[in-house]
Chain A
Amino acid sequence: MDSEPKKDVEVAPALIAVHPDQCSVAVAVGQHLRVFDLAAGDAASLTDDSDAVAFHTDNIRAICFGAKGKLFVSAGDDKTVKVWSTQSWRCITTVSSEKRVSAVAISNDGNFVCFADKFGLVWIVDLDPPSRDKKPSPLLSHYCSIITSLEFSPDGRFILSADRDFKIRVTNLPNKPLNGAHQIQSFCLGHSEFVSCLAFVQGQECPEGLLLSGSGDSTVRLWNVDSGALFDTCEVALKAGLLEDNGKAEEHGHAVTDICTVLDGLLVAVAIQSLQGIILLSCNVSEKTLSVTKVVSVVGEAFVPTCLGSSPSTGKLWMVTGVSSLPGCSYPALARVRVISDIDIEQEPVVLGDDNIPGGEKLLETLQGTASVDDNAFLAAAEAVKTAMCHLLIKKQYPSENRESRKKCRNDRKLKG
């Protein structure tokens, strides 16, 4: 662990989040948080009453809208969690974490924010009554595993946590969660690599929702959260023709980086490492199956999305690619935003050009930091994100002889030092 090149680990992928009613779009890249107010057609100006110089002082690792769009939360390597009102874009609460933060979620009623630290501990903060500084209480823990995603179930019964040990834990949310959430409902087990992302699909037939998860094993899976039973597995990379049938040409080259439901969950957009574009899956809620509908390619530039966002009712998918900082790159915080529109069962989706994007050039200037960016930089960015993700999430399997010699080396070092 300690021998790893630090630079790679510190590269943070760009993130995007879309307000549920598409009132605003937020992009986080490095320590920068950028919000565009689509209703006003202008950049939102974020304010924070605390006298901090910057909102975040290190890479932001997680952002999300919550509580039906009333709240927004941002958190990351600077060990702070900031809760924002999306009305005023004022920071209403700042929470200090002891460790770096890897994932965040807001409860549907807006009363609680949860975040995971890099020790695998999930903390909960009561937002009611509101106050500037809040102390978090421990909620649950994944034993020394990095938590990659946190999600409240749509019916508010459960909190879900996914980790790099292939595991998804479903925990009952008690009436008084500040005393901890001890009752585990289920574990969703089936992935054979780290779980990178979670999302819920809802339908009239199942208001409680079905769980979707994406993983380093190049699959998206559909689960029953109550029992942990696996409904279906979709080998997205294989089905989309990215992989030969006989398997892994390039190991971990097709890890699923993000999933996002579009059109109230009728379709699911999937981002995969190395894919310039996205894969659309359709989820049959009554049959409980997943199938690949089509691949939507982004042509004309090297665009491998690092994160996806959508407001549920629109047929639009927002995508971002970029990284916090690349060694030797002239852009300190690189981000590129693209939008796919007309995502529908019948229609052919369209990758919007920059002049057709909602919010236009002003939005791009706000969220990307500049209206136009050098195309080549993004290929390097995609590579850097891939490396960083591998280092963070894939457990190294040293052959045993090798392991012994590593130990010896370490001891030698200790003796000399």
Chain B
Amino acid sequence: MSETEVNPTISKSTGLPRKRFYRARAHSNPLSDSHFPVPISPSHVDYSFHYPQLFPSSGQADSSKRIQFADVGCGFGGLLISLSTLFPETLMIGMELRDKVTEYVKERISSLRVANPGQYQNVSVVRTNSMKYIPNYFGKGQLSKMFFLFPDPHFKEKNHRRRVISPFLLDEYAYVLEVGGIIYTITDVEELGDWMKSCLENHPMFEALTRKELVADPVVELLSSATEEGQKVARNGGQTFQAVFRRIVPSDQPS
């Protein structure tokens, strides 16, 4: 009969995947070794798998079109869903470490594709450890936006190196971002907010957006409203701390 009977993880009323079947451990240790496939290089990323309607035949992909937005630690994918219709011409991907959460986002996207023909074709998700494999997915200057929304705080000093924003990881993010590309971060943990901001301020390849630029950017308001975590914080009336920076050319250019 109908698919929903076969698949109890899909809600009958909404046709969307039910979150409770995709619950997972709250935190994963990003330092432990991976058990998922990793593309050998950005040219090995299978665009026809992620965006089948836009890349119908595998192998001979339209090389001009590349992924431009990355939502790192995308969780249940709320931001991607909002961005998908706001930037229908842009390819975007969520990167998520937890297996079940990734499966949930996959289901969510395919349900939306079925329910809204022609839409949500530009969005996908991949299970990976972004802290290790960003360069396997994106080439130099490929991305125009990167998102780090409500990342895990890792409070203990000795666990700071597990944080997704760190001075060294910013080197890699600067590499995959085009000059002028923007990195968006937000958290409800003040200490983490200070940390992310100071990492970005101290990095020679990033500069803060001005207040005016923040107001003009339609994406900024999504940071606190579009994701599941953001909505939870808002429901509880929590404060948020954001840092939005632009990739710039460093002044100490090697000669």
Q: Which residues of B contact A (CB under 8 A)?
A: 31, 33-35, 40-42, 131-133, 135-136, 140, 161, 167-172, 174-175, 203-205, 250, 252-255
Contact = CB atoms under 8 A, between A and B. Distances in A.
Given A140-B171, A183-B250, A400 B135 contact: no
B131 A143 contact: yes
B124 to A, nearest CB: 21
A19 to B, nearest CB: 30
B171 A184 contact: yes
Contacts of B31: 144
Nearest to B171: A182
Contacts of B133: 165
A397 interface: yes
The 10 closest A-B pairs by CB, nearest first: A189-B41, A141-B168, A184-B175, A172-B254, A187-B135, A182-B171, A143-B131, A144-B31, A174-B252, A143-B132
A140 B170 CA distance: 11
A396 interface: yes
Contact of A189 (B135, B167, B169, B253): B135
Contacts of B140: 184, 186, 228
A154 interface: no
B254 A173 contact: yes
Given A184-B175, A395-B33, 5 more contacts: A144-B131, A166-B40, A174-B252, A182-B250, A395-B34
Nearest to A121: B168
Given A397-B35, A398-B35, A165 B254 contact: no
B35 A403 contact: yes
Contacts of A119: 161
Interface in A100-137: 119, 121
A189 to B, nearest CB: 4
A187 B172 CA distance: 10
Nearest to B130: A143
Nearest to A167: B135
A397 B36 CA distance: 9
Contacts of A416: none
Nearest to A192: B40
A176 interface: yes
Contacts of B131: 143-144
A190 B136 CA distance: 10
A165 B40 contact: no
Contacts of B171: 140-141, 171, 180-184
Contacts of B135: 167, 169, 187, 189
Most buried by A among B131, B168, B175, B204: B168
Interface string A52-83: 00000000000000000000000000000000
Given A141-B168, A182-B203, A190-B41, A165 B252 contact: no
